[in-house]
Amino acid sequence: MIVEVIRGLGVGGAETLLFTRLRCALRTHPAGFETTLVVNTLRENDHYVNALRDLGVHVVELGARGPLRGMLQLRRTLRHLGPEDTVVFHSPVTSYLEKLVRAFRLRRRPGRLINVVHGVRHRAVYNYLGAFLDRYADRALAVADAVAASPTARHYRDVRTVLGGVDMEAMRDWITQHPAARDDFRASIGIPEDHSLAVAVGGLNRLKGHRFLLSAVMSMPKTSLVLVGDGPERDALHAQARNQGIADRVHLLGVQQDAWRWAAVADVVVQPSAHEGLPVTLMEAVALGTPVVATDVGGVGELIRDHPRAVLIASADPTEIATGLERALLLGGSAASGGLPARASEWSVSRFARDFYAALMP
């Protein structure tokens, strides 16, 4: 059995990758795939819980408050696992107690312990704990080469890169079945016909750089912006749009089911983040063939290096973002008006599932 432990099943990148991979694996049964139990350690983040259960995946939800109580509750959940079972941790904090058990050899025959490393930065306390405990994992799976080379993966004995993937078959079917999607989506929120559409998908927090993106759009009067996602910066971004006189061109849509559809109808997808691992939003844009503007952080460079419609920028400076957007808008239209590019198969969820389960094996 495989147990996947994740801190929340909201709409973030790690959660989306887990769901789409499991959905694919249940259909294709790649080598190394086994019956899977998902443990959600943040019960309040439950966007994918019912969807996973609909697939037949057993989901255990834990509700302890505080990291220490959470680790103890998780320990009780995992203590009956056998030596043939594999535990995959998607967050460092959930894995430390299991590693401590291994360090002191409190389990005679432990199963395999795998960490998935999603980002290039951790909190200082996690770096400190990792320096002592990460060596007790059997393997780390980094989501990009840049992540594998970062301090977050430094102390593992065995690190392998497994690039994510997206459900291109679902994308292709939807684009084929909705030939008017580009016009329909824009009309639904009142975007003028003569405006270009820039889309940013992700959590509305300061690290994502949305405030700089709004300032860039202020200098582009024929560009409308859609922000898909939610977070602590939502009210501040609303206020900024009003203060800058662009509230009629900035649309904050909140969390959307299948948010990639907005990337499919966009003229450009933009992500001016301060740091990233391998962002699913950009993976989807690359698979769709939508032009991209993104800061060169984490695994972004290796993700879009072969994308002919990509513009990398050095920082989230508003002037640099605006220049990047103007360049990208000259590179082509939305995916919904042209179909998926031939090279997109590199980012298929089928390839991702095969690589992931192969990497779990000894």
List, as one string, the DSSP characters of 8-44. --SSSHHHHHHHHHHHHHHHH--TT---EEEEES-TT
pLDDT score recorded for residue 344: 58
Q: Residues 269-278: pLDDT tens digits? A: 999 999 899 9
| Range 30-55 average pLDDT | 95
The pLDDT score that the predictor gives to residue 83 is 79
Query: Is the Cβ–Cβ distance between 288 and 340 less than 8 Å?
Result: yes
At 164 the pLDDT is: 95
Q: What is the DSSP string of 132-172?
A: HHGGGSSEEEESSHHHHTSGGGTT-S-EEE----B-HHHHH
Confidence class for position 360, pLDDT limits 50, 70, 90: very high
**pLDDT averaged over every residue in the chain:** 92
**Average of pLDDT values for 34-39?**
96
- For residues 179-185, average pLDDT: 95
Q: What is the 3-state secondary structure of 268-294?
A: EEEECCCCCCCCHHHHHHHHHCCCEEE
Q: How many CB atoms lie within 10 A of CB 283?
A: 24
pLDDT of residue 298: 92
Distance CA 236, CA 248 (A): 16
8 A C-beta contact, residue 84 and residue 108: no
Tell me the average pLDDT across 132-156: 96
Q: Quote the pTM value.
A: 0.92
Asked whether residue 362 carries a pLDDT value surpassing 60, the answer given is yes
Token pair in block for residue 208: 């994502």
- Residue 75: band (very low, low, confident or very high) from pLDDT cuts 50, 70, 90: confident
Q: What is the DSSP letter of 317?
A: -
The pLDDT of residue 36 is 97
- What's the pLDDT band for 78 if we cut at 50, 70, 90? confident
pLDDT digit string, tens, across residues 220-235: 999 999 999 999 999 9
Tokens representing 45 are 């983040």
User: Is a pLDDT exceeding 90 seen at residue 118?
Assistant: yes
pLDDT recorded at residue 105: 80
Q: Walk me through the domains of the chain, giving residue ranges and CATH numbers.
A: 2-162 (3.40.50.2000), 168-344 (3.40.50.2000)
Q: Is the pLDDT of residue 203 over 90?
A: yes
Confidence of residue 336 (pLDDT cuts 50, 70, 90): low
The answer to whether residue 342 scores a pLDDT higher than 60 is no
Model pLDDT, residue 123: 87
pLDDT attached to residue 306 = 80
